[in-house]
Structure 1
Amino acid sequence: MKAYVVQNGEYKMKEVEEPSVEGNEVKVQLKTAGLNHRDLMIKQRVGTTETPYILGSDGAGVVVEAGVDCSRFAVGDEVIINPGLNWYEKSEAPPENFEIAGVPYPGTFAEKMVISEDFVEKKPSHFSWSEAGVFTLSGLTGYRALFTQGKIKESDTLFIPGAGGGVNSFIILLAKEIGAKVITTSRDKQKLKQAQEKLGYDVGILTEDNWVEKLGDETVDLVIESIGGKTFNRSLEVLKKGGRIVTYGSSTNDEITFDLRKFFYGQYRMTGSTMGSREELHELLSFVEQHDIKPVIDKQFAFSNIDKAFDYLGKQNQLGKVAVSF
């Protein structure tokens, strides 16, 4: 079967052996898959190993084979992949054996994938195949950051820099659904306009603006940060004293400095967040089905053109998710 792999420090399409099914595993024939920024960075983590690792964390498809011990799914079921492996119950932090599908565990950028049925869920009926294929990683990451770690309330004002990313766009949709006020940013005026139309945020400002000046009349209760070094201190400056900041990623510098005295005098609370548990995914699935929420898809590519999808995502001009179809 065809798979998109990282091997010898390069990304490439490759013919690989179709995996076999054992125990409680299912074999899923992929219909669609979703790209994440994680996929762009895997090459640096893996290095120049000869072993081909199948990339991809998000995906959706049809069960075509089920192991003898399967009890939750059967051949013909339409499913989504939960890439957060071995994390079952909601907890303060992931368990030690937590992994994300797509290196080292074989990922979704392949015609077929074998995975434990514990980490497969029924495809939401209101999702198209494209929406289902891009949903889980960004949706689950956003849900935990916003609700479990951020503890957002209807009365809160959320500030979230960077409207365009898949996780952030989903966080905005979730926050608006519960009635919170949302403030976001973009480097581009046109993207801000498009994001307002698709996501319905309340206030949008440019990345280059003076945030303290622009938001002088706002009271920001919660900041969700994923950009890192370039924006962290600027985000902290607009947060009210006693406010909460959640960080789930760092697309710029991982290491930053900030004024510790100012931080503790301000009584700020900072929390890290990564992906989420299966329990939280079940909560998220119930939420999106109840409120008819769907991920925003910016662009879709054929699997045969996945190189172009990687190039497109790397430019960081998207609004929402980038999908590939099989």
Structure 2
Amino acid sequence: MNKKLFIIPLIVLSSFLACTSDKTATEETTVVKLSSPDFNADSAFAYTKAQVDFGPRIPSTEAHTNCLSYLVKKFKSFGGEVFVQQGAAKTYDSKNHQLKNIIAAFSPEKTQRVLITAHWDARPFSDKDSDPKMKDKPFDAANDGASGVAVMLEIARQIQQKQPNVGVDLILWDIEDYGNANDDSADETTWCIGSQYWVKNPPVKGYKPMYAINLDMVGGSNAQFTQDEVSRKYAPEIVQKVWSIGNEIGYSAYFVSDISPSLIDDHYWVNKAGIPCIDIIDYSANGVFYKNWHTQLDNLNNIDRNTLKAVGQTVLEVIFREKPAA
């Protein structure tokens, strides 16, 4: 074999590989400059676990009471001005409860404000479980409840360390998930009792943040957040803002452009209060919720830090890109 002829292809191949390697390295090291601080997914996971460790946070139970104290204490430790809105509530099974919406305000002196919400209660039974023996048993509600709360706790921790230009309000809704699975009324009023109560009994008269974002089931693996009809109807510009930023900073696999049907979630009632509100929720284009929804498998083992990161970083970035009032 002619050694010169052998060397030349090697040189060409080496040059090609070098160029390819450089290109890959360049692409991999391309980082979008964020306006927001780094959202810590490990921290959010720890907050999820802390809630789950209390047991299912079912209204009128010891676990619910203990978790309430924990959440109030955490928000206060992050510098929030905390208020617990309480009111009498009756669930569809004729049981009486004292609902407790947890409200935390950060930089209350700022007139421009963003509202972030999630529900903190757990459903009393896993009625969607495949095992008939488990359908009347409570479940951990790690994703359906605790994940959204955990993201908000980490957001609170971050904005204490670096304040955005706008004020931030956080509301944790109570008795959201105690609805009648067969509720076929127009507004499905057996669900979202805490947000309904807040709309009818506003703690601050005339409260009008620029917009609101509700978080629901934001910790499952391979989650996809579609654009539901209620969000698109009432707050199309906010949908565009959030999904565009999510895609820009690297989370296009989560914030997909798929259109999904209407659903009654807490964002529905916030919109009824005249505040444009969207829902970030694991909900498919054909109207199917997170795969472990209302089952025993909604537990800590099925919480994904990558999903918590995608949602938390996106929401933080949305907040921190807001400009101060002129």
Q: Give 1 or 2: higher helix fraction.
A: 2
Range of TM-score over shorter length = under 0.3
TM-score under structure 1 length normalisation: 0.27
Structure ranking higher on relative contact order (CA contacts 8 Å, 6+ apart): 2
Between Structure 1 and Structure 2, whose CA radius of gyration is higher?
2
Q: Whose strand fraction is larger, Structure 1's or Structure 2's?
A: 1
